[in-house]
Each structure stands twice: as structure tokens, then as C-alpha cells.
Amino acid sequence: MIRTDIFRWLLLIFLSSIHVYAQQSAKLPKPEQIHSLIRFYTDERNFNGNVLIAEHGEIIYENAIGWANIKNNQGLTLSTPFYLASISKSFTALCVMLLKEEGKLDYDDNIYMYFPELGDRAKRISIRNLLQHTSGLQDYFEMGWDEPGLTNAQLYGKLINNVNQLKFKPGYKFRYNNTGYVLLAIIVEKVSGIPYYAFVKNRICEPLGMENTWVYDLRTPERNNSNRAIGYRSNLKKTDDYFLLTWGDGGIYSSVEDLFILDRALYSEKLVSLKTLEEAYTPVVLVNGATKNYGFGWVIGHNLNGKTISHTGGLAGFRNYYERQVDVENTIIILTNTSNNYITEMRNILVKVLDGRPYEFPEK
């Protein structure tokens, strides 16, 4: 009984200290509040990764915490490339937008013109359906096809030989779909006449000066980049690194610095017009009139400051988050490589810090 009372007393002290810690932090300038929060997650949640926070277009906090490669005794820096996983979809959608503006494709093109081998299924699907996850195609992760080393060509071969019909009529439902974005990357190659990795490099990275962003492709020297972050399990004792060779749905490495460069470019017309971007930031409307909170490669939402454009990315040991509060030009970028499961929790507190709202640190 005495031990139970002591335990309760110690727990009360701990929880009270967290509450006081959060209250004290909330009185500090925003950069110091954010640093206190990141320190808490580093100490209590084993956070290992990079963070960049901007307010009204200006960076107010950036930090690199932990290891990129333990075997090589290599720590993280702000320029360290992380595997983005599904945040790569924003890049793929941007590639399609670039080709659309050049008049080389149309969002409502039937994909049969690019993939006749897919038969009647392809006749009912448009590029827009692929962009908005309304194609009805099978997701290759759900099919169990995500074996190590899988390439786009191999995946397409599986699609041709797969006799399963569409899961629903295109445009009638929203269902997040990695297969569709692989097909979009193949369309980019077919229309542009160059590999997807070269298109991303030539049309996005080089014009913007994104020096640490590249597609993980067998044909690219960056694939063997010794500075990239290696994926790990949460205890950092076992690797859990990126293992696929597909791109379009994933496949891109980037840093917090480069993602912020992209963020700033998307407030201008350096890549595509603002009108094109506005369409990309518009939620999908299904055939029955219902809307879903996804545009072209971005999740669409709203908070106290207006519209938010965001995407998560997670595979192997990588867990990432990229949010753009476009009406006020606030940015939250979190890239991690140790299977961190607290990204959403961190984001929710960071939003409160930016808003000037009260918050508390989570319990241990």
C-alpha cells in the first residue's frame, strides 16, 4: 500500500512538472517554445530527425537532431536527404501540371492512350482520376506486391497480368492509391520522352536550386549518396531502410532546406501558374457531388488561419510531415528516420504554438 502511494505521488509530481514545463514554455518567444517542445520529444520520445518551422514565409526554427547513419558515425544536418515516401506524390502531381501547362496532356485524357495493355479498365480512367485517387485501381500495397526491389516496370507487368476488375467505377469513390501515382510517373516519362528522375531534376530541382533532392533510381548516382539518412527502428539498433525501386508514389529523397525552397516557389509562378496551383489545391468532387479533402498530390484542409495543404509520408523507418498554411504562409516540416509514431502529435502542438494558443506537453 505504501509503495502504491509513493508511485502515485511520484506520478503526480511528474505530470505536474510536464504541465508546468509546458506553461513556462508558452511564455517564451515562439522559437524557444518550439525548441522546448523538440527537446521534450527528443528526451521522452526518442525523436531523431529534422524540423523546420516558418511563420509568414520566414524560418523561425530549424534543427537537426540525432543520427543519419550510425554505422558511419554520421549525424544529421539540415541538408541531409530523407526518404519522403508519399510526400513524393506532390512532386509527381507537379510534373503532370508542368506538362499540362505545356499542352502536352490534359487532366481528362483517358489513360488508355498511354496504357492500352490495361484493356477496358483504362478506357474508363482519366489522369484526373489518378491524381485524385478516384481511379478504382487496386493499390499494389494492398495486393502484397511491395516486395524489395520492385520497379515501376515490374509493377506495370503485374497490373497487365492482374485479372481483377476495378474496385469501383472511376470518379464514384475516393480511395488512396499508390498504383495510380506510379502510372502518373510513367505517363510523365511517355509524354516528356525522358526518365522520371531526369524530369524531376531538370524541371523542378535544378531551376529552384534544390541540391539535395533526387529520385532513388538505379540509373542515378545520387542513389548511392553517402549523406542520405538511413532508416532505423525506433531504438536505432536495427536498420529499417527504404527497400523499393518504384517512383511516382514515392521514391524521392529531400531535405528540410529543399522542401522549404519548394514551399516558397509555390507562392510564385516559378514552376507553374497560380491558377494551375489553385486547381491542384481544390478538393475532389465525386460523381454524386460529395467532396473529399484531396487535390492533386496534396491533402486539403482548414485551420484557424485558413487553407492548409499537407501530406504525410511513411515507409520503412521514415515518418514525415509537410504542411503549408497557404493563407498565412506558415510551414511545418518534420522528417524522421526512426519509425517515429508521434509526428501528428508534434504537429498538433506546433500549430498551437504558431497560433499563439495554449497547449500542454503530452504525458510520458
- Domains within the chain, CATH numbers bracketed: 1-46+356-364 (no CATH), 48-341 (3.40.710.10)
* Cα(164)–Cα(203) distance, integer angstroms: 36
Residue 219 binned pLDDT confidence (cut-offs 50, 70, 90): confident
More confident residue, 364 or 177: 177
Cell of 298: 496534396
pLDDT tens-digit series, residues 4-55 = 343 344 334 344 444 444 554 667 999 999 999 999 999 999 999 999 999 9
Neighbours of 221 (CB within 10 A): 8
Q: Is 275 exposed, middle or buried (0-12, 13-18, 19+ CB in 10 A)?
A: exposed
Is residue 84 scored above 50 in pLDDT?
Answer: yes
% pLDDT > 90, the chain? 86
Q: 3-class DSSP state for residue 100?
A: helix
Amino acid found at 119: G
pLDDT tens-digit series, residues 113-171 = 999 999 999 999 999 999 999 999 999 999 999 999 999 999 999 999 886 789 999 99
Residue 218 binned pLDDT confidence (cut-offs 50, 70, 90): confident
Is residue 281 scored above 60 in pLDDT?
Answer: yes
pLDDT tens-digit series, residues 180-212 = 999 999 999 999 999 999 999 999 999 999 999
Residue 112 binned pLDDT confidence (cut-offs 50, 70, 90): very high
Q: Which of 25, 36, 79, 86 is catalytic?
A: 86
Beta strands, E only, the chain = 49-55, 58-65, 67-69, 74-75, 82-83, 214-215, 252-254, 284-285, 291-292, 299-303, 306-315, 318-325, 330-336
Q: pLDDT at position 25, please?
A: 63
Nearest to 52 by CA among 272, 298, 354, 359: 354
pTM of the model: 0.92
Q: pLDDT at position 259, please?
A: 98
Q: What is the mean pLDDT of residues 272-276?
A: 98
Identity of the highest mean pLDDT range in 4-8, 303-307, 330-334 = 330-334
Sheet containing 318-325: give its strands across: 58-65, 49-55, 330-336, 318-325, 306-315, 299-303
Q: pLDDT at position 235, please?
A: 83
Nearest to 337 by CA among 360, 350, 354, 320: 320
Cα→Cα distances 66→50, 60, 70, Å? 9, 20, 9
Q: pLDDT at position 255, please?
A: 98
Q: pLDDT at position 4, please?
A: 37
More confident residue, 290 or 364: 290
263 and 64 Cβ atoms separated by less than 8 Å: no
More confident residue, 340 or 17: 340
Cα→Cα distances 338→108, 141, 235, 240, Å? 40, 21, 7, 8
SS3 assignment for 316-329: CCEEEEEEEECCCC
* Cα(35)–Cα(246) distance, integer angstroms: 36
Q: Is 355 exposed, middle or buried (0-12, 13-18, 19+ CB in 10 A)?
A: middle
Residue 86 is among the residues annotated as catalytic for this protein: yes
